[in-house]
Structures are given as C-alpha cells and as structure tokens.
Amino acid sequence: MAEAGEDASRRASEASRGSTDVVAMDSLSEGSVEPEQQRLPPPLNLIELFKAIEVVERDSVAIAESFTSLFASLRLALAEVSGSSVEHMQCFSDAAGRLQESALDASTRGNRYINSCLRLNEELKGADNLAAQLKYLRKTVDTLDSAVNRLLRLP
C-alpha cells in the first residue's frame, strides 16, 4: 500500500520534471527570455497528467480495498470476541445458577438436620425423667425382691 503511494508520487514527479526539462531546453535555445515568461508555469503535458491521475486513482482504489479488508477483519474479530464474551457470560450465569441451587439445597438440608437435633434433644430431656423413674422402680423391685426372699427363707 505504501509502495503504491510512493510509486504514484515518483511517476507524478517524473512527469512534471519531463515537462519542465522541455521548457528549460526551449528557454535556453531562445537565448533571451523575458522575465515575465520565466514566471509562467510550464505547459502541461496532458497525457502525462492523465497517466499520473490514473496511477493515483488506481492507488486510491487499492488503498480503499485495503481499508475495506482491514475493517472486515476487525469486524470479524470483534464479532468473535463478542461471541466469546456472550458465551462466557452464559456459562458464568449457568454456573452461578447451579451454585445458587446447591447452596439452597444445602441450606434446606442443614435446617432439617438442625430441627432433627432439636427434636432429639427434647426427647432426651424426657428420657432423663424416664431414667429417674426407672431407677426408682428398680429400687422398689429390689426392695420387694429382698422382702420376698426373707419371707421365703423363714423356716
């Protein structure tokens, strides 16, 4: 792309030099040139000018095509990056949803466990009273047993 621009500049400068060389040779051959004629721009060679314009036009088209290709590549890269970002966000959303479900499930199970432990604790408090009653009953049965044994040994 840069080479095409340099090539066009070189061709345009060669075209303009060629026309000035002709004017310079004409002015030298005449011998006496008035100062007003020296100030006038050299006559343009239209064929060379059209060739230079054609080169500039071709280079401009090549540059435009290059920019079009560049922007298409950038658009594609941006679409790919955006697509990847969207996919990552969806994946993150799915993972966060699953984590939330797991946390809620674990919380529910933890609450059930705590409630079971509290019920068991309440039932064990009643068991202490039952254990005291069983101890008292055992003493009573032992006392009754020893009384029966005394009565049966009376001969």
Q: Mean pLDDT, to the nearest integer, of 127-132?
A: 83
Residue 42 CB partners (closer than 8 Å, separation 6+) = 19, 20, 22, 23
> pTM of the prediction?
0.39
For 8, the 3-state DSSP assignment is helix
Lowest-pLDDT choice from 56-60, 90-94, 146-150: 146-150
The Cα 93–Cα 21 span in angstroms is 75
User: How many percent of the chain have pLDDT more than 90?
Assistant: 43
Q: What's the pLDDT score for residue 24?
A: 44
CB atoms near residue 88 (< 10 Å) = 10
Integer Cα distance of 109 and 115 in angstroms:
10
Distance CA 40, CA 104 (A): 92
Convert the pLDDT of each residue in 4-44 to its tens digit.
445 545 555 554 444 444 444 444 444 555 555 566 666 66
Three-class SS state of 41: coil
Q: What local confidence, expressed as pLDDT, does residue 28 receive?
A: 47
List the domain boundaries for the chain: 46-154
pLDDT mean across residues, the chain? 79
Q: What mean pLDDT do residues 89-118 have?
A: 93
Q: How far apart are CA 96 and CA 108, in angstroms?
A: 18
**pLDDT value of residue 151:** 85
The band of 104, judged by pLDDT with boundaries at 50, 70 and 90, is very high
DSSP designation for 44: P
